Amino acid sequence: MSVKIAPSILAADFAAFGAEIEAVEAQGADWVHVDVMDGHFVPNLTFGPDMCRALRPHIKTVMDVHLMIAPVDPYIAAFAEAGADILTAHVEAGPHIHRTLQAIRAAGCRPGVALNPGTPAEAVRPVLDLVDLVCVMTVNPGFGGQSFIESAIPKVAQLRDWGGPDLHIEIDGGVSASNARRLVDAGADVLVAGSSVFRGGSVADPAPYGENIRAIRTAATSVSV
């Protein structure tokens, strides 16, 4: 599978999301990662389905919605109607993860399951047949710009082994050109990157977004020596 770079708009200008998305897609983003936080499952608040609906017309690629909320089930229909392509729920967010993932697919989205750095890979093994994507968190969710947690990397190889070649394995948190290669070598194919993509650029000067995306992609796909 080709490596996909999914900029997290958590690191974009909150007053200009539409223009930021168009800029980052024009600069080479493969997917757009939208972080939904509820102030309960994680200690921060961002936005909900109405914001996703407003963003949808600006996204030409894939709207990858990361739900850091609990409970999840009451909001699935609203995010699906808002136009999410991928809806990812945390395995830690509730006791009935099978039901949640089945409901996401029934609503017309591609289901993903996310796991926190402290959660072992075994926790999502029973639902791998229900998902198109596993999101391996390499920070504790809630904020952008945190330091990458190395100890999550062995989970990636384990999940690739169990999930086979068609499962998307996404890494989220602290991804940069300096760790991209190790993540792809371990079996990841989707790299979420917020601060390391939006750093140094703006809607008025989007070229750094392209440079940052190319740096991550080049690092991720370079041949080892």
Ligand X SMILES: O=C(CO)[C@H](O)[C@H](O)COP(=O)(O)O
Give the residue numbers annotated as catalytic, written as ranges.
35, 172
What type of residue is 84?
Answer: A
Residue 145 binds ligand X (CB under 6 A): yes
The Cα 77–Cα 49 span in angstroms is: 9
What type of residue is 115?
Answer: L
**Number of amino acids touching Fe ion (CB under 5 A):** 3
Q: Is 144 annotated to bind ligand?
A: yes
Run of H or E residues at 78: helix 76-81
In Å, how far from its chain's centre is CA 208?
21
Rg for the chain (alpha carbons), in Å? 16
Residue from 33, 155, 168, 217 binding ligand X (CB under 6 A): 33
Give the nearest distance from C-beta 160 to ligand X in angstroms: 21
Nearer to Fe ion, 31 or 207 (CB): 31
Q: Is the peptide bond before 71 cis (omega within 30 degrees of 0)?
A: yes
Residue 172 binds ligand X (CB under 6 A): yes
Q: What angle do CA 142, 146, 148 make, to 5 degrees?
A: 115
The Cα 27–Cα 16 span in angstroms is: 16
Nearer to Fe ion, 35 or 189 (CB): 35
Write the interaction track for Fe ion spanning residues 42-81; mark x where CB under 5 A is met and - where it is not.
------------------------x---------------
Using the rule CB under 6 A, give the single segment among 14-22, 79-87, 93-101, 138-146 that binds ligand X.
138-146
- What strand order describes the sheet that includes 190-193? 4-7, 190-193, 168-172, 133-137, 110-115, 86-90, 63-68, 32-37
Residue 11 binds ligand X (CB under 6 A): yes
Where does this chain bind ligand X (CB under 6 A)? 8, 10-11, 33, 35, 66, 68, 139, 141-146, 172-175, 192-196
The annotation places the binding site for a divalent metal cation at 33, 35, 66, 172
Where does this chain bind Fe ion (CB under 5 A)? 35, 66, 172
